[in-house]
């Protein structure tokens, strides 16, 4: 039981990372109306910047904040250089462009930081024991960071003027434009927010594992699965689905092994979508 409890805790932490990546995907999909395949590599770039600054300053907090700023800057740069010019194009065109953006970011990361694995230099801390279950202080710190990130995102979305404009564009882009909402300002805010969340997810994943140029690309499929499972375009659903998939994957590891645990999350996704095609939190919409 203690072993399964530790697996569950590890799964929840992995699920939070997947959920944050899925949140970045679902924000872009809900407003810009396409699936952004560059999310994973924005995670990677943010993690590398955080790691480099952390190594130079000796502070993971300073490194993490710098990584978030880098993620926001990358998001705005992607919009300004690529997706602003593709406004009005089809979702498929934007998806293909985002795949190209992902390859460019990965190539730049590999060129600047090279391809060897790197790790965050963290102090060794003895894990806590609660009823013979080991809980690492690092996991608790990362959970606090994730909670603060989610609180900031939902505060921006639901308690600020720019958040209300973003939700208006997500609900009805045409009506929002007629109402005088500037689409450029909304998109800049969107890509700033999505890039920042991606960088937080990448930094957390790098702290939990190792930092490599392919780490974000490897996380992309679980993140897409969580975004779809939660109801595409639904921020709360993305987080909940990511945590669910992470927990299911880790709990299934003793039975299917590390290699095949990723397939378990897609089996869960398939079952849920067969029963509820709109996802866990999505709305069923009719058309006439």
Q: pLDDT tens digit string along 234-258?
A: 888 889 989 888 888 888 777 777 6
Q: Please check the confidence at residue 268 and state whether its pLDDT lies above 80.
A: no
Mean pLDDT of 200-226: 90
Over residues 12-65, the pLDDT tens digits come to 888 899 999 999 999 999 888 898 999 999 999 999 999 999 999 989 999 999
Q: Are 217 and 41 in contact (CB under 8 A)?
A: yes
**pLDDT attached to residue 197:** 96
DSSP annotation of 211: B
* Domains in the chain with CATH codes: 2-120+130-275 (1.10.3470)
86 or 255, which is more confident: 86
DSSP annotation of 176: H
Alpha helices per DSSP H over the chain: 2-32, 39-57, 60-78, 91-113, 137-159, 161-171, 173-178, 183-208, 215-229, 235-275
Over residues 109-161, the pLDDT tens digits come to 999 988 888 999 887 778 777 777 777 888 888 999 999 999 999 999 889 99
Candidates 44, 46, 77, 76; CA nearest to 64 is 46
Entry pTM: 0.90
Mean pLDDT of 196-211: 93
Q: Please check the confidence at residue 288 and state whether its pLDDT lies above 50.
A: no
**pLDDT attached to residue 107:** 93
Q: How many other CB atoms are there within 10 angstroms of residue 217's CB atom?
A: 19
**C-alpha span between 238 and 274 (Å, rounded):** 18
**pLDDT attached to residue 286:** 45
Mean of per-residue pLDDT scores for the chain: 86
128 - beta bridge partners?
A: 135
Which residues are CB-contacts of 144 (< 8 A; sequence separation ≥ 6)? Answer: none
Going from the C-alpha of 182 to that of each of 25, 89, 130, 165, 168, the distances in angstroms are 22, 19, 52, 9, 11
Percent of the chain with pLDDT over 70: 96
**pLDDT attached to residue 1:** 66
**pLDDT attached to residue 202:** 94
Q: Are 226 and 19 in contact (CB under 8 A)?
A: yes
Structure-block tokens of residue 117 = 């694995």
**pLDDT attached to residue 287:** 40
Q: Please check the confidence at residue 196 and state whether its pLDDT lies above 80.
A: yes
Candidates 237, 220, 224; CA nearest to 278 is 237
């Amino acid at each position: 039981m203690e072993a399964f409890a530790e697996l569950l805790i590890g799964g929840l932490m992995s699920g939070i990372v997947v959920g944050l990546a899925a949140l970045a995907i679902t924000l872009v999909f809900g407003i810009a109306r396409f699936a952004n395949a560059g999310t994973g590599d924005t995670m990677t770039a943010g993690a590398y910047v955080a790691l480099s600054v952390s190594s130079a300053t000796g502070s993971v907090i300073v490194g993490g904040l710098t990584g978030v700023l880098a993620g926001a800057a990358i998001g705005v740069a992607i919009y300004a250089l690529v997706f602003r010019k593709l406004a009005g194009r089809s979702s498929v065109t934007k998806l293909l462009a985002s795949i190209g953006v992902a390859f460019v970011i990965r190539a730049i990361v590999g060129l600047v930081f090279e391809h060897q694995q790197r790790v965050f230099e963290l102090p060794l801390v003895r894990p806590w024991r609660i009823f013979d279950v080991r809980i690492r202080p690092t996991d608790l710190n990362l959970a606090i960071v994730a909670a603060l990130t989610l609180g900031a995102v939902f505060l921006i979305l639901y308690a600020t003027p720019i958040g209300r404009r973003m939700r208006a564009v997500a609900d009805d882009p045409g009506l929002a434009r007629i109402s005088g909402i500037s689409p450029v300002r909304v998109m800049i805010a969107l890509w700033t927010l999505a890039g920042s969340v991606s960088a937080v997810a990448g930094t957390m994943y790098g702290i939990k594992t190792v930092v490599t140029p392919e780490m974000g690309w490897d996380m992309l499929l679980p993140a897409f699965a969580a975004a779809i499972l939660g109801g595409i375009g639904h921020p709360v659903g993305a987080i909940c689905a990511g945590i669910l998939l992470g927990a299911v994957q880790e709990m299934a590891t003793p039975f299917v092994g590390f290699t095949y645990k990723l397939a378990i999350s897609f089996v869960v996704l398939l079952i849920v979508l067969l029963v509820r095609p709109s996802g866990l939190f999505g709305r069923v919409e009719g058309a006439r």
